[in-house]
Amino acid sequence: MKCPYCFSNDTKVVDKRDNEHEGTTRRRRECLGCSKRFTTYERIENIDLSIKKKDGSCQAFNREKLQKSILKSLHRDEISSEDLNTVLDEIEMDLLSKETTVVESSEVGKLVLQKLKKISPVAYMRFASVYKSFHSLEDFSKEIEELKKT
């Protein structure tokens, strides 16, 4: 890290703060050359998380894809973009807090279902019909019975 004033490479960190909400780390640095202080921010660009699909292939976790799959079941007018972001954040955090960096796609589906259940039972059914690959009306009514119980 170069000092922005005198371009010296000798700087020391005098204060460090993590902002968990933004996922950033802020470091207050002091230049050992000219003693001036400045602040740097560190942000996570990429996370190491893979999703293992049913066929065994792995794909890097993609938040946009997750958003798209949720919006297939949940229409834009059923959720504000703020709430949608919160749902995505929560799912992402759940996935990241697992001990492994490879998560089965069925696990992701389960998390989505948990969220949709609270937002809209209709969206829940839409998503469940794809995720659980319903084949008959009976599958639907079974799921609805389950949904009523919870």
Three-state secondary structure along 9-65?
A: CCEEEEEEEEECCCCEEEEEEEECCCCCEEEEEEECCCCCCEEECCCCCEEECCHHH
Measured from the CB atom, is 29 or 115 closer to Zn ion?
Answer: 29
Size of the site for Zn ion (CB under 5 A): 7
Instruction: Please answer whether residues 51 and 66 qualify as being in contact, where contact means their C-beta atoms are separated by less than 8 angstroms.
Output: no
Q: How far is the CB of 111 from Zn ion (least distance, A)?
A: 48
Q: How far is the CB of 38 from Zn ion (least distance, A)?
A: 9
Q: Which stretch binds Zn ion (CB under 5 A): 5-13, 46-54, 92-100, 132-140?
A: 5-13
Q: How far is the CB of 39 from Zn ion (least distance, A)?
A: 14
Q: How far is the CB of 65 from Zn ion (least distance, A)?
A: 45
What is the spatial distance between Cα 101 and Cα 122, in angstroms, rounded to a whole number? Answer: 32
Q: Which stretch binds Zn ion (CB under 5 A): 3-11, 41-49, 91-99, 101-109?
A: 3-11
Q: How far is the CB of 8 from Zn ion (least distance, A)?
A: 5
Beta-carbon count within 10 A of 35 CB = 10
- Site for Zn ion (CB under 5 A): which residue of 3, 70, 91, 108? 3
Q: Where in 8-47 is the site for Zn ion (CB under 5 A)?
A: 8, 31, 33-34
Measured from the CB atom, is 38 or 134 closer to Zn ion?
Answer: 38
SS3 6: coil
**What tokens appear for 7 in the block?**
């371009």
Beta-carbon count within 10 A of 29 CB = 19
DSSP string for 70-94:
HHHHS-GGGS-HHHHHHHHHHHHHH
Binding residues for Zn ion (CB under 5 A): 3, 5-6, 8, 31, 33-34
